[in-house]
Chains A and B, each alone.
Chain A
Amino acid sequence: MSYGATKYRQDYATSSPVERGHGELAARRLKIYAFDPQLGRRRKHRISIEVPYEKLDETTDESGRVRSVPTGRLVSIVDYDAHADCHYDLVDLDSPQILYGGGLEPTVDDPMFHQQMLYAVTMKVVSNFERALGRRLDFERLTVLPHAFQGRNAFFEPSTNSLCFGYFMASPDNPGENLPNQWIFTCLSSDIVVHEMTHAVIHRLRPHYLEPTNPDVYAFHEAMADIVAIFQHFAFPGVLADAIQASKGDLSKPGPLLELARQFGHSTGGSAALRSAAGEAEVDPGMYERTFEPHDRGSVLVSAVFAAFFATYTTRVADLIRLATGGTGLLGEGHLHPDLVNRLTQEASDTAQRVLDLCIRAFDYLPPIDVTFGDFLRALVTADTELNPDDPYDLRANLVDAFLARGIHPEGAFSLNESSLLWDEPAEALIDDPLEEEFFASLSGYEAQRWGSVKKKQLERKQYDRTRVSSILHAWAVAHATEMGLEPHSRDDCPIRVRGFHTMIGVGDDGQLLTEAVVQFLQTPKATMPELGGLTPRAGVTVIFSGDGTPRYVIPKPLRAPGGTPDPDDDRMRKMRHFVDDCARRDPHFAWAGEAYDPRLHMTKRFSFALLHQEIEAARRGQADGN
C-alpha cells in the first residue's frame, strides 16, 4: 500500500488507454464533469479520469453484434426510470470509439454519457478505497440507476443493494446559475455520486453502521461520504492548481474545491452549494453536542478532518512560501509564480491523498458496531501510528487538536496524549494465546489466489479454505470472550459470530512490510428489547492480530447481557434508550402512528437514507431563505 511516486496526472482529455506490460490494459480513461454540468460549462471542468480496467459483461444486440454493457465486477448500471416506467439504451464502453477516444464527451443531453460518468465515478471511489486499504473490495454487485425517479434526491438503498439517482427541474423562480425549469441530473454531480457510492462502500466495510445506536453512527456515514467527495476534488490537478492560484495558496478559503454539490444547491433555490468544508472563522466547541441531524452533525467531523488537513498542508508549504518571498513568508499582490503554483499543487494533492487514505485505512481500526466520532479519532491515531510512527508534519497532532476544538472527546481514553489515544493493548491472557499457526497460511493463501494481480488463465489449484480460517477465529473468541468484554459464548442465548476477517498488508514510511489481520466478532443476545425502537442490542469487538498470530489491539463495544438478556442498566443500553427517545420526540410521524402497528417508527426506518435527504433538504432551504 505504498503511496508510490506522486504522479502529476494529465487530467485534460487524452486519447489512449493505459497499459501495463505486454498489452495488459491497466486502466480505462473516461471523461466526466469534475463537479457538475453547471461548472462544466468551462472546459477545464470537463476532465478525464482513470479507473482500473476490468472486463465488462457482454450482450448480443439485434443485429447479432457482441457489445459490452456497463456491468463489471462490483457495479452494474441499469437505466430504468420508475417514474416514466421506461428504460434507456446502455453505453458500450468497449466500443473502439469510446475505448480509444477516452469516452463520450460530457453532455447533459445523452443518457449514455450519464451512464459512462456514473460508471467512472463509482469505480473511482472503489479504487480510492482499494488503494488506501491495500486490498480488493468484494461485495455483491451494486445496481446503479442513473434516472431512477423524479425528485431532488439520490440515495443508497441497502435492502435492494442499489444506488438510485433522481432528476428534477430547476426551480422556476430561483434557479441560480441554471435555466428555470432546466432538468438537473443528480447523477451528473460528481460529489453526489461519490457521496452515495461511499455510503455503499462503508456499508460493505461495516454493515452494522446502518443500526442507529447513537447519534454519531449515521452522522459518521454522512461525514465519511462527504470527506471522500471533497477530497476527490484534490485529485484533479488542473482544478486544484486553479484554486491555488485564485486563493493565493490558502486552500481554506471558500470556493468550489471545498463545496459539495454546487449545482444541486443552486438549482434548488439556495444561493450556495449543499455543504461546505470551509470552516467558520470561529470554531464552536458546543456544536457537536447540540447538533442532531446526521448531515449537520457529520459536518462537524468533516470540518475537523479538513482543519487538520489545512494545518498539515500549511506546515508542508511554509518553506516554499518563504523561498518564493525572499524569506518574508508574505505573498504580495498579483499572481503566484506558476512554478510555485505547481509545487503547492503537488503538496496539496499529496497531503490530501494522505489524509484521505488515512481516513479510509482507519476503518480497519473501527469497532463493528456503534461507532462514535471519538472512536474514529482513536482509529485514525492508531492507524497512522502503525504506518507512519514519526509523523513529520504533525498530522496526528493536528487531528487531535481539531477534534478537541470541536468538542469531540474519545470515550475511555485516559488523556489526549497520542499514546493514550491508541486503542488498548489486549489483556495478558490474550497475548499469551496466539492464533493457530495455520491461520495466516490459509488466509493469505486464499487472498493471494483470489486477487493475484494479472490472471493469465484459470488454473485448477488447491483451494484455500476460508471456513477453516473462520473456525480457528471462532474457537479463539469463544476461549477469550470475557477478556474481550463479551459474554461467554452460548449458541442459543448469546452466540459469538465471526463477522469478517482479512489481512492488512502495508508498507510503512521505513519501507518495511507490515502484515496483520483484522477480525470482527459480533455477539447478539437472544432477548429482544422493545423499548429500543426495533434496534437489536449487540456487543462487538474488532481485534488486530500481528503476523505471528498475537493480538495487538482490541477495540471493544461491550454489552452486559447475562444469559442472553441485556442488562437495562448497562451503559450502552442506557445510551441507546436515551437516543431512541430523543429520535421519537423529533419524529413528525410520531404524533400520529403507534409503534405497535407502524413500522415507520422502527429506528432503522427512521434513518432511511432516502427520507433523511428529504428532511435535510427542507431544513437547508430554510437556512438559505434566512440569509
Chain B
Amino acid sequence: MATEPIGVSMYNVGFGDCFLLRFPTPDRERRVLIDCGSIKRGVPAGTDAIVERLIEDVTDDGVARIDVVVATHRHKDHVSGFDNEAWRDVVVDEVWLPWIENPSDARAQQILHEMASFALSLQAEAASLRGLSEAERQLVDHVIENTMSLNDGQRLDLSNDAAMATLHRGFSGGAGGAERRFLSRSPDPLDSKALPGVIVHRLGPSRDEAVIRDMNPPSDESFLRAAPGGGTDPGALLPFPSTMGPPSGLPSGLIGRLERMSMESTVLGAVALEKAVNNTSLMLAFEVGEAVLFFPGDAQWGAWAVNLEDERTRQLLKRTTFYKVGHHGSHNATPRTFVDEVLNESHPASIVAAASVTTHGRFTEIPKAELLRELEHKIGQHRVIRSDDPPAVGSEGVSVMSGADRVPLRIDFEVPVR
C-alpha cells in the first residue's frame, strides 16, 4: 500500500463542479475525474480552457489517460465540459454513471423521459407567463438551462445531449472502448480493476422506492393555470358556452390571487425539477487507509437522509477527511445533522472541505454563508476552501495554481492516507 497522499485538484469552473483525484498505486498513478461542467457564461478561464488544462494535466508522454470518469448527474453545471471534441483522444477505462442513466433500465428511462418532458412544459409555461418577478424568472431560466440540451434547447429526450453522448459513447479506450457502469446505493464496496487498493463506497442514488420518490419530477398537468394564455395548448378550452370576462359577484382580489398562484406553481415546478435531478446524483466515498474522500454530488435531503439514518454509512461519513461541499454550498445540500453530528466526529488527523462555488446572478444564498461558516467552525479555520476565493497564502496541504490574469485556475489538495 502506497503511503503518499492522495492528490485532489478542484478546477475553478465558476458555477459548476470539476474534480480530479490522483491515487498513488505501486505501478502508476490512478486518476478519477468527477464531473466537468459549468453553467455560468464567462467562466473565469472559459470551460474549454479548463478542459484543455485538465487534459494536459493527465497527459504523460503524449497520451492523455484517466482511469475512471464519474458524472454524478446530468445537470449542465456538472457535464457541460464533456461537450468537447478533445475527449475523443482521452483514454478512459471506466465511466461511472448513476443507475438512472442506464439505457437498458426501463424504469430509469421512464424517469429521464418524465424529467425531459417536464422541462419542456416548464419552458412553455414560463414563456407564456407575464407576471414572474425578476428573481423568479432567473431561477426558472436557470433550471431550464441546467436541464435542457446545450445545443438548441429543443430536443426532447436528450437533455445536455452532446455532453451526455461523450459520457455514454465517447472517449478512447481499449478494444471495446471505455466500460460504462451504472451505479446505485449498495452496502458492498464497488469492485473495480481500474482502482486497485481503493475502497469505493456507493451511497447513492438509491433504488429504494421511498427515495426514488424524491427523483420524480412533477408532471405538466400539475401546473396551476389560472392566468390567461398559460399552458402548452391555448386552444384547449372547455367546450361550454361562455361569456368573456369575469361575472358580477366575483370577489375582488380573487383573480390576482389565482394569477399569483400560477406563478408560484411554476416556480415550484422549477425547483422541484431541479431537486429531482439533483437527487439522481451519484454519492461516492473513496477510502484509502485513513483517508475518506466524500463526493455527494448535488444530492438533496431525501438522498442524504438515507445515509444519515443508516448506522453503517453514518459511521463511514464520520471518518470523512475530504468533503466536496454539496450543490455549490447551497443550504439544503449539506444537512445540518451532517455538519453538527457527523463531520469530524472521529477527529481524523486532517480534514478539508472544498466548495466549488461562485456568485451567480441573484442567487445570493448560493453559497450559503452560514453553512460555510458552520463548516469552518466544525473542521477548523482555513479548512473550507472556495474555488473562487482560495487562500492567498497556501494552507497546509493546499496550493493554488493561477492563470495569467491571476484568476485561480486549479486548487490542489494533498489528502494524507495515514
Contact = CB atoms under 8 A, between A and B. Distances in A.
Contacts of A161: 251
Interface in A14-62: none
B268 A149 contact: no
Interface stretch (B49-57, B185-193, B215-223): B215-223
Contact of B258 (A164, A587, A619): A164
B244 to A, nearest CB: 5
Interface in B240-260: 240-247, 249-251, 253-255, 257-259
B7 interface: no
A335 interface: no
Given A87-B243, A618-B272, A82 B227 contact: yes
A611 B212 contact: no
A618 B258 contact: no
B412 to A, nearest CB: 29
A145 B249 CA distance: 12
A81 B242 contact: yes
A268 B220 CA distance: 11
B100 to A, nearest CB: 13
B212 A622 contact: yes
B226 A83 contact: yes
Contact of A167 (B111, B238, B251, B261): B238
A588 B275 contact: yes
A149 B229 CA distance: 12
B332 A169 contact: no
B265 A152 contact: no
Interface in A584-627: 584-594, 597-598, 600, 608, 610-611, 614-615, 617-619, 621-623, 625-626
How many chain B residues sit at the interface, stated as a range, is: 35 or more
B225 interface: yes
Contact of B301 (A82, A111, A586, A625): A586
Contacts of B213: 619, 622-623
Residue among A584, A587, A591, A626 facing the most chain B CB atoms (10 A cut-off): A591
B330 A159 contact: no
Interface stretch (A71-79, A225-233, A495-503): A71-79
A162 interface: yes
B326 to A, nearest CB: 10
Contacts of A619: 213, 216
A586 B249 CA distance: 40
Contacts of A591: 271, 274-275, 300, 327, 330-333, 365-366
A618 B264 contact: no
A445 interface: no
Interface string B266-278: 0111011011000
B110 A625 contact: yes
A83 B228 contact: yes
Nearest to A86: B242
A88 interface: yes
A84 B228 contact: yes
B364 interface: yes
B365 A615 contact: no
Interface in A137-153: 143, 145, 147-153
B330 A592 contact: yes
A151 B221 contact: yes
Given A152-B221, A164-B258, A584 B331 contact: yes
B249 to A, nearest CB: 6
B139 A592 contact: yes
A177 interface: no
Contact of A162 (B243, B251, B336): B251
Residue among A153, A161, A171, A183 facing the most chain B CB atoms (10 A cut-off): A153
A590 B216 CA distance: 18
A157 B262 CA distance: 13
Contacts of A149: 224-226, 258, 261-262
B261 A610 contact: yes
Residue among B247, B333, B364 facing the most chain A CB atoms (10 A cut-off): B247
B335 interface: yes
B230 interface: yes
B135 interface: yes
Interface in B94-124: 107, 110-111
Contacts of B254: 80, 143, 145, 160, 162
A581 B336 contact: yes
A9 B169 CA distance: 69
Contacts of A488: none
Contacts of A150: 225-226, 230-231, 236
A168 interface: yes
B358 to A, nearest CB: 15
Contact of B249 (A78, A608, A611): A78
Given A86-B242, A86-B245, A623 B209 contact: yes
Contact of B251 (A160, A586, A587, A621): A160
Nearest to B218: A618
Contact of B268 (A85, A586, A614): A614
Given A581-B336, A591-B332, A592-B330, A84 B242 contact: yes
A212 interface: no
23 contacts: A71-B249, A79-B247, A83-B225, A83-B227, A86-B243, A87-B247, A87-B250, A88-B242, A149-B261, A150-B226, A160-B257, A161-B251, A164-B258, A171-B221, A183-B238, A581-B336, A585-B335, A588-B272, A597-B135, A608-B261, A618-B222, A618-B272, A623-B213
Nearest 9 pairs between A and B by C-beta? Answer: A149-B226, A622-B216, A588-B275, A87-B247, A86-B242, A150-B225, A588-B271, A591-B330, A82-B226
